[in-house]
Amino acid sequence: MTKPEIHIIGAGPVGLSCGIFALEAGYNVKIITESSEVAHIAGLAAGGMLAPAYECLCQSTQEFSDFAFTARKLWDGFAKNLNIAISPNALSLGETPEEIEFLEKQKIASRVFGYDFDFIEIPNGLKTNAALKLASDGLLNPMVVYPQMLNLFKNLGGTIIYDEVLALEKGKIFGKVGNYNSEIIIVAAGYQSHQLKESLPELNHLFPTRGQVIEIDCPAPADGSIRYHSTYIMSRAGKTIVGATSQNNNDDWSTNQEDIDTLYNNACRLYPSLVGKEIINTRAGLRPNTTDEMPILGQSSIEGIFLATGAYRNGWLFAPMIGKYVIESINNDPLTYSYKRF
Ligand SMILES: Cc1cc2nc3c(=O)[nH]c(=O)nc-3n(C[C@H](O)[C@H](O)[C@H](O)COP(=O)(O)OP(=O)(O)OC[C@H]3O[C@@H](n4cnc5c(N)ncnc54)[C@H](O)[C@@H]3O)c2cc1C
């Protein structure tokens, strides 16, 4: 039997991943997304860390840690399909005895997930007292991976339609340019899914957490990512990316000089070689957040419309997991991340 057509709203990492999993499952897939001239894609402002240990270990529920570690493992196969590399170097730093004690706890907890993290020699140039290598975590470059996802989606037979979706009904999508009929619809428009709240009131549970990053003309002290509290420094194409600010309920897609100065100063304290080096790029994006910081996935309040949003600060890490989960939920919704929990 031929499978019905699926329309996905949004071509960020989550929408594209849903599209790829849907095509692989034999569906006919169209993604409706804003044209590149106006598109706001948080995924392109992101650091690209795939960091289940840093995000979850010792600080979230077992269920959420399982979701994050499974997502990380899925990336190994997904990266092969996309023909991209994931840097395996991810360091978490500790300065004070309490911070180092927390790293020790993470080292022990990592064994539950089949790892045994190690403390390593502190890379040259970093001002800190301890560095734990999080062997599960990795880093990708969104600027490289995003076009590869788009290519894979198209090569598998997917179609992109450029339009802004304004409203939804059972089986119907209303865009600025045209209207579309579809038995199955997936809403994957990141924080901007919230614009569809008149059609789907559960999207009121989404709120923006604005984030900014800067790029500095200086090589990073090591390959991969290095994190200390809210500051991270990452190596990308011979430069250093520094992130990230975190501002709840702020829906401004532009960067702000004061925040950029704060990012720069925090990074210089950690890695003094950055002092005096030029900031060559700044980016801002809105993370799709929810009150329990978990995604909103699966069947919506309208039959045939599914949700794939709320990935908050882990949209890259979760992208293949969400794609797999949401496509599977079309036939059998596990309800774990249902909007009904709110
Ligand atoms: C500064 C920063 C750093 C981050 N670092 C990391 C990190 O290191 N690791 C990690 O895993 N995550 C990170 N994130 C989070 C990650 O970027 C997000 O979770 C992820 O982008 C969410 O993906 P998405 O596809 O749901 O949304 P988005 O990436 O925002 O994509 C949404 C898409 O929907 C389209 N769209 C929106 N509205 C409409 C509409 N009405 N009609 C049609 N199309 C529409 C947009 O044009 C866009 O293509 C970071 C985020 C920020 C801001």
The answer to whether residue 109 scores a pLDDT higher than 70 is yes
Domain chopping of the chain, boundaries? 1-48+141-206+291-342, 52-61+85-139, 208-289
Cβ 142 under 6 angstroms from ligand 1: no
Residues sharing a CB contact under 8 Å with residue 121, sequence separation 6 or more, in sequence order: 131
The answer to whether residue 143 scores a pLDDT higher than 90 is yes
Ligand 1 atom at minimum distance from 32 CA = 43
pLDDT score, position 37: 81
The answer to whether residue 82 scores a pLDDT higher than 70 is yes
Q: How far is CA 258 from CA 24, 68, 127, 216, 263, in A?
A: 45, 33, 24, 16, 9
Single-letter residue type at 85: A
Residues in the chain: 342
Same fold, 1-48+141-206+291-342 and 208-289: no
Region of 88 on the Ramachandran plot (φ > 0 left; ψ -120 to 50 alpha; else beta): alpha
Fold of 1-48+141-206+291-342: FAD/NAD(P)-binding domain (3.50.50)
* Rounded average pLDDT over 28-46: 94
Cβ 316 under 6 angstroms from ligand 1: yes
The answer to whether residue 333 scores a pLDDT higher than 90 is no
* Rounded average pLDDT over 330-341: 91
**Rounded to the nearest whole angstrom, what is the distance from the C-alpha of residue 43 to the centroid of ligand 1?**
4
Cβ 10 under 6 angstroms from ligand 1: yes
Fold of 208-289: D-Amino Acid Oxidase; Chain A, domain 2 (3.30.9)
| Closest protein CA for atom 12 of ligand 1 | 314
Region of 76 on the Ramachandran plot (φ > 0 left; ψ -120 to 50 alpha; else beta): alpha
Alpha carbon dihedral 234, 147, 11, 209, in 10-degree steps, equals: 10
Q: With 0.75 as the threshold, say if the pTM is over it.
A: yes
**Rounded to the nearest whole angstrom, what is the distance from the C-alpha of residue 273 to the centroid of ligand 1?**
31
| Closest protein CA for atom 16 of ligand 1 | 315
- Is the C-alpha dihedral spanning 70, 153, 40, 330 positive or negative? negative
Mean pLDDT of the chain: 96
| Closest protein CA for atom 3 of ligand 1 | 46
pLDDT score, position 1: 66
Ligand 1 atom at minimum distance from 210 CA = 53
For residue 21 the two structure tokens come to: 């999993």
